[in-house]
Amino acid sequence: MQDILKNYIDGQWLLSPGGKTFANENPARKGEILNYAQASEPEEITLAVDAASAAFLNWKTFPVEERQRLVGEFLRLLAQAKDELAVAVSKENGKTLTEARAEVDSALLEGGYHQRQISAFAGNAVRNDKCSLAWEDYHPLGVVGIISPWNYPVNVMCRKTLPALLTGNTIVFKPASFTPWSAVMMARLFEKAGFPAGVFNCVTGMGSSVGNALIADSRIKAISFTGSTAVGKKILSAAGANLVRTQLELGGKNAMIVMNDADLDGAVDATVKAGFGCAGQWCTSTSRVLLQRDIAGAYLEKLAERCRAIRIGDPLDSAVDMGPVAGPGQFKTITTAIERAQRDGAQMLCGDAAAQSGGYFIKPTVFTGVTPDMAIFSEEIFGPVLAVCEFDTLPEALDLTNNSVYGLSSAIFTRDLTNAQRYIDAIDTGMAHVNIHSGFKIPEMPFGGWKESGFGLPENSRSGLEFFVNRKAVYWKGI
């Protein structure tokens, strides 16, 4: 009998009164059920918001040092639970154990950054001759709704939750329905760390039911969401009705430009890492590769050789480089996009659905001869599939890169400083990389997209905390 994962509401572990659950399937072994999670009803969101509203009255008065101490305890427990959590992520999401451990490390790095940063988180102060001093005071918002995707279930959730808690907000968290196990494990860590009841609540279930209920509750003061652009737009319009602040981290179609003067081996390494890491299911994955014509042949030869060497299989096996995609829905979307690209006339250099039929495996797939009118050039696939185009000049490459509704991340490989500077000035993406793959990030830098890739203040950096506070301008005149 598999575990039944419960909701965590007001410090208690609860089954959904409706009695409905959903199965959490291992994508590497079709039909293997890892556990069952609560298919909660909107009423449980109401209960969680009740609890978070009551807890806010006390939590907002906690000294910042006490909030830091509790977040520090959570991070200590997270580090201790790293291996166990990595196994859960690997089993329910399909990324390799190494990738899952790296995800927990990234959550620890960012969490530690915010925990230290809050000590010096104060607004501007100015002197003025009409009042002796004026300054910005920061106040928590209240109850915050956090909705996360399945691709980085630990890292994305922590990147939102920890800054929200450090700034004095309380949380109702709705994880993605593909990854309830790691979510519930993290809820246990919040409980163990000693957060007061109601400060952190976790309700599992479908986006269309509990996700909708969360964004419709007028007591929610902000929504921090990561997921697809389509759902992000729905959230924005629902939040707009109540003037609720939103932070939306959305889809992407990230391009990497390789110039004739690039370090080709470095560029191929970066493509393999950002194109096929986590089976291409990171928001900042490289999914378009633009090659300057003279090096295209040499680059593709090296890339095809590297792709064929990628070992696919059970992500818990340390000899495996790439696990399955996250589930049947992802598998169908990706294989449909591959078929469409073939019909549209792109040439498959390597790839396709893998031979192992036991799980949702897809081989690293590379299409050449892609033109901007093909769906594979413009639509987010979110899988191990690369669209390759060739170009003659840098302005042409920049136009191709910016020819997208998305603007999340991008990269250029070149040894020429003028090329690099032109790229930085012209590129319409929230993250720009020179000689580094498109998925690279550090917590000190903003993490967010332009155009249809993001809305509201980015995560990480100073804005990661700023999103969760109200500002008050204080004017002070001594008597």
Kind and range of the H or E run holding 305: helix 293-309
Distant-in-sequence, close-in-space partners of 79: CB < 8 Å, separation ≥ 6 = 104, 108
Q: Based on the shown chain and the rule CB under 6 A, indicate whether residue 207 belongs to the binding site for ligand NAD.
A: yes
- Of 249, 379, 380, 459, the active-site residue reads 249
Residue 228 or 378: which CB sits closer to ligand NAD? 228
Which two structure tokens, joined as six digits, stand for 395? 């302005």
Question: Is residue 283 among the annotated active site residues?
Answer: yes
Q: Is 99 in the site for ligand NAD (CB under 6 A)?
A: no
Burial of 270 (C-beta count, 10 Å sphere; 0-12/13-18/19+)? buried
Closest residue by beta carbon to ligand NAD: 207
Q: Which of 198, 443, 449, 456 binds ligand NAD (CB under 6 A)?
A: 449
Closer residue to ligand NAD (CB): 140 or 430 = 430
Single residue of 149, 180, 351, 364 touching ligand NAD by CB under 6 A: 149
Asked if residue 146 binds ligand NAD (CB under 6 A), the reply is no
Query: Per the structure block, which two tokens stand in for 10?
Result: 């007001």
Q: Contacts with ligand NAD: how many residues (CB under 6 A)?
A: 31
Binding of ligand NAD by 233 (CB under 6 A):
no
Kindly name the residue from 283, 307, 350, 389 that is annotated as catalytic.
Answer: 283
**Residue 103 in the binding site for ligand NAD (CB under 6 A):** no
Q: Which of 469, 444, 459 is nearest to 250 (CA)?
A: 459
Q: Are 171 and 147 in contact (CB under 8 A)?
A: no
150 belongs to the binding site for ligand NAD (CB under 6 A): yes
Choose which of 25, 249, 379, 452 interacts with ligand NAD (CB under 6 A): 249
What dihedral angle (degrees, nearest 10) is formed by the CA atoms of 95, 40, 183, 172? 130
Only segment of 66-74, 86-94, 231-239, 288-296 that touches ligand NAD (CB under 6 A): 231-239
Element (H, E) at 418: helix 417-426
What residues between 167 and 206 interact with ligand NAD by CB under 6 A? 174, 176-177
Is residue 437 classed as helix, strand or coil in its secondary structure?
coil
Could you give the 3-state DSSP secondary structure of residue 169? coil
Task: CB nearer to ligand NAD: give 193 or 387.
Answer: 387
Residue 218 falls in which region: left (phi positive, over 0), alpha (psi -120 to 50) or beta:
alpha
x-or-dash pattern for ligand NAD, window 26-65, by CB under 6 A?
----------------------------------------
Q: E strands within 77-142? A: 125-126, 133-140
SS3 of residue 472 by DSSP: strand
Q: Which of the ranges 56-64, 247-255, 295-303, 396-404 carries the binding residues for ligand NAD, by CB under 6 A?
A: 247-255
Pairing of strands 245-249, 454-455: antiparallel
Find the binding residues for ligand NAD in span 211-230 (CB under 6 A).
Answer: 211-212, 215, 226-228
> What are the DSSP calls for 329-375, one per residue?
HHHHHHHHHHHHHHHTT-EEEEEEE-S--SS--EEEEEEES--TTSH
Contacts for 386 with CB less than 8 Å, ≥ 6 apart: 271, 275, 286, 287, 288, 289, 364, 365, 366, 367
Please tell me whether residue 244 binds ligand NAD under the rule CB under 6 A: no
Contact status: 286 vs ligand NAD (CB under 6 A): no
Residues of this chain, 350-389, that bind ligand NAD according to CB under 6 A? 380, 382
249 is catalytic: yes
Residues at the contact surface with ligand NAD, assessed by CB under 6 A: 147-152, 156, 174, 176-177, 207-208, 211-212, 215, 226-228, 231, 234-235, 249-252, 283, 380, 382, 408, 449, 453
The catalytic site residues sit at: 249, 283
